[in-house]
């Protein structure tokens, strides 16, 4: 099987090989193994994160479009159907995401299998195990996306090298999660405790383990014992001392801070014109010509989401654009109320601030945050609350640290005060929405907290959007349909109920 390798991120790659080479001729030494590993990072680059070059990315579509942060206009095509919860098994975007995830999975499986088979004569064993651990971390991001989205999926643990090996039966969510935990436990043991500059590390594996354990506490598994497991792993990330919050929220998403101490793991992107860019700052960009720092116009901000912010929360100003990119620089739009001239129905997301003018309408250089330290702090508070162990001191070191950073004046954004377990849970999911919006985790959060149907059924946007899913959502739509094209290829697949 021939492989094409491209750079995953300029953060940790100094060369960008573009030559076709067979694995057998490449995997003869440590340099070849590291090049092969770069191919695994490249495999997840656009599939999991922000997408580009025509790739339908998982985090945008599953995590944001299908939640309650944005609304879609009538001209948004398949994205409109995802937002409206009008999916069928023939939806092209859903099919593309399924296919792309499994193609990426096969590339990563190849990396695990082939580098793992290298001998001591070819590569230092410690280096080999580190590379395999990085690949297993990447494999976990793919399997976590698959099981979150479709629930009962084929669990493919090794490289597929023949078209005769495609008829794989579905596994239960329990089996998939067990394999994810096995991979991440291996990665945790083999990787270094450091901020990896775009590469997987011990802290990234521990943080993803914490996120996975928390997701297991909600639908469909509802395994409340996993709160304690999540607490253990997230505490290890916090106690490592490797990560911290930046002092300013807007700085977190600045191009100069892509691999700061706040980034536990961030998917490397690079653009424009390098075939390595993403859609951050344009898909969620402000009004204006796309060649002048403005957005596509394919999604607008949910009114209820905007209204949920305290008016003097800097995250409101940073995350939601009420200006025209042709008229105002990012600095002016953040600080000058006169810039906010765009009507409510066409407000857009604005977390990653492209300078104006710029030349990357759909090829932006912003790295895609996968897990930030802010997320770790909020997950840690959630893990404690799930066990009835959350204290005011815990809240102060987690939620209230984030609110302190976000507060524009001393009277803004009241500190969170310890309440009942249910009251705490409501405060925590709201804080996650304000802090982590547009980063692709909102739908998983709503499902885990048991709030998904309530959130989707509560969207009453009106205006120039495609309509509201309130009259469309049904319980079975917690999961996406398995594409009909895949069922035809693999008759062992059983369609998710309701589709």
> Would 443 be classed as within a structural domain?
no
Number of structural domains in the chain:
1
Note whether residue 339 is domain-resident: yes
Answer for the pair 124, 192: CB distance below 8 angstroms, yes or no: no
Return d(Cα 247, Cα 249) in angstroms, integer. Answer: 7
CB 431 within 8 A of CB 399: yes
Q: Tell whether omega for the bond before 272 is within 30 degrees of 0, i.e. cis.
A: yes
Residue 328 lies in a domain: yes
Please identify which residue in the block is written with the tokens 């200006």: 323
Instruction: Find residue 372's DSSP bridge partners.
Output: 263
**In this predicted structure, what is the pLDDT of residue 20?**
58
Domain, as residue range, for 342: 290-368
Give the pLDDT score at 6.
Answer: 33
Per the domain annotation, does 314 fall within a domain?
yes
Q: Which residue has the tokens 């340099």?
A: 31
User: How confident is the model at residue 52, as a pLDDT?
Assistant: 77
- Residue 317: inside a domain: yes
Element (H, E) at 264: strand 263-267
Buried-state track 392-419, b at ≥16 Cβ within 10 A, e below 16:
eebbeebbbebbebbbeeeeebeebeee
All residues at 6 or more sequence positions from 338 whose CB lies less than 8 Å from its CB, including other chains: none
Spatial CB neighbours of 377, under 8 Å, sequence gap ≥ 6: 238, 245, 397, 398, 399, 401, 402
Estimate to the nearest angstrom the gap between the alpha carbon of 53 and the chain centroid.
18
**What pLDDT does 294 receive?**
76
Residue 322 located in a structural domain: yes
| Six-digit token string for 59 | 């985090």
CA-closest candidate to residue 325, choices 315, 312, 334, 316: 334
Instruction: Report how far apart the first and last C-alpha atoms of the chain are (Å, whole number).
Output: 36
What is d(CA 123, CA 111) in angstroms, rounded to the nearest whole number? 14
pLDDT in tens for each of the 499 residues of the chain?
333 333 333 444 434 445 556 888 899 999 999 999 999 999 999 899 888 777 889 999 999 999 999 999 998 999 999 999 999 999 999 999 999 999 999 999 999 999 999 999 999 999 999 999 999 999 999 999 999 999 999 999 999 987 776 789 999 999 999 999 999 999 999 999 999 999 999 999 999 999 999 999 999 999 999 999 999 999 999 999 999 999 999 999 999 899 999 999 999 999 888 888 888 888 888 888 776 777 766 789 999 999 999 999 999 999 999 999 888 888 999 999 999 999 999 999 999 998 878 777 778 899 999 999 999 999 999 999 999 999 999 999 999 999 999 999 999 999 999 999 999 999 999 999 999 999 999 999 999 999 999 999 989 887 778 888 887 788 999 999 999 999 999 999 999 999 9
In 348-420, alpha helices (H): 373-386, 392-397, 399-406
Q: H/E element holding 365?
A: none
Instruction: Let me know if residue 320 belongs to a domain.
Output: yes
- Which pTM value belongs to this model? 0.94
Q: Is the peptide bond before 329 cis (omega within 30 degrees of 0)?
A: no
Which DSSP string do the residues of 216-260 spell out, in sequence order?
HTSTTT--TTHHHHHHHHHHHHHHT-S----S-HHHHTSGGGTTS
- The alpha-helical segments, DSSP class H, found in 191-221 are 202-216
**CA 183, CA 418: separation in Å to the nearest integer?**
36
CA 400 – CA 398 distance, rounded (Å): 6
| pLDDT, position 8 | 38
Residue with tokens 């377990």: 421
Give the chain's largest Cα–Cα span: 67
pLDDT in the model for residue 81: 94
| Residue 15 pLDDT | 42
111-116: long-range pairs with CB below 8 Å, 24+: 111/36, 111/37, 111/39, 111/40, 111/135, 111/138, 112/136, 112/139, 113/158, 113/159, 114/23, 114/27, 114/36, 114/159, 115/27, 115/33, 115/36, 115/37
CA distance 163 to 166: 6
pLDDT at 414: 96
């Amino acid at each position: 099987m021939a492989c094409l390798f491209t750079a995953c991120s300029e953060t940790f790659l100094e060369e960008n090989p573009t030559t076709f080479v067979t694995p057998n001729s490449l995997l003869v030494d440590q340099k070849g193994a590291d090049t092969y590993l770069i191919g695994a990072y490249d495999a997840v680059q656009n599939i999991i994160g922000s997408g580009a070059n025509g790739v339908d990315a998982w985090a945008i579509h599953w995590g944001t479009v299908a939640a309650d942060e944005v609304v879609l206009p009538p001209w948004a095509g398949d994205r409109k159907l995802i937002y409206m919860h009008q999916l069928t098994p023939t939806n092209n975007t859903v099919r593309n995401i399924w296919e792309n995830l499994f193609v990426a999975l096969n590339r990563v499986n190849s990396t695990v299998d082939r580098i793992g088979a290298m001998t001591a004569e070819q590569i230092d064993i410690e280096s080999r195990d580190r590379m395999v651990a990085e690949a297993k971390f990447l494999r976990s991001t793919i399997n976590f996306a698959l099981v979150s989205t479709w629930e009962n999926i084929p669990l493919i643990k090794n490289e597929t090298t023949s078209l005769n090996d495609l008829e794989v039966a579905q596994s239960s969510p329990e089996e998939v999660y067990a394999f994810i935990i096995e991979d991440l436990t291996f990665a945790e043991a083999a990787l270094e405790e450091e901020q990896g500059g775009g590469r997987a590390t011990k802290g990234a594996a521990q943080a993803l383990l914490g996120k996975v354990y928390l997701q297991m506490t909600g639908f469909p598994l509802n395994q409340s014992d996993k709160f304690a497991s999540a607490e253990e792993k997230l505490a290890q990330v916090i106690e490592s001392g490797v990560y911290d919050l930046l002092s300013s929220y807007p700085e977190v998403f600045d191009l100069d801070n892509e691999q700061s101490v706040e980034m536990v793991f961030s998917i490397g992107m690079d653009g424009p014109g390098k075939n390595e860019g993403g859609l951050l700052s344009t898909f969620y960009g402000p009004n204006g010509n796309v060649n002048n720092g403005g957005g596509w116009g394919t999604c607008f901000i949910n009114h209820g989401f905007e209204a949920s912010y305290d008016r003097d929360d800097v995250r409101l100003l940073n995350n939601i654009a009420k200006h025209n990119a042709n008229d105002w620089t990012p600095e002016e739009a953040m600080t000058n109320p006169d810039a906010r001239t765009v009507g409510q129905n066409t407000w857009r997301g604005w977390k990653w601030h492209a300078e104006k003018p710029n030349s990357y309408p759909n090829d932006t250089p912003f790295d895609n945050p996968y897990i930030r330290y802010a997320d770790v702090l909020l997950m840690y508070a959630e893990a404690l609350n799930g066990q009835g162990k959350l204290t005011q001191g815990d809240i102060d070191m987690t939620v209230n640290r984030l609110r302190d950073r976000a507060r524009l004046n001393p009277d803004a954004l009241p500190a969170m005060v310890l309440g009942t377990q249910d009251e705490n849970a409501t405060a925590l999911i709201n804080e996650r929405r304000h802090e982590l919006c547009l980063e692709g985790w909102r739908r998983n959060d709503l499902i885990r907290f048991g709030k998904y149907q309530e959130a989707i059924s509560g969207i009453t946007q009106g205006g120039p959007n495609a309509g509201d899913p309130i009259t469309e959502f049904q319980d079975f739509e917690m999961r996406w349909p398995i594409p009909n094209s895949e069922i035809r290829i693999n008759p062992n697949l059983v369609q998710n109920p309701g589709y």
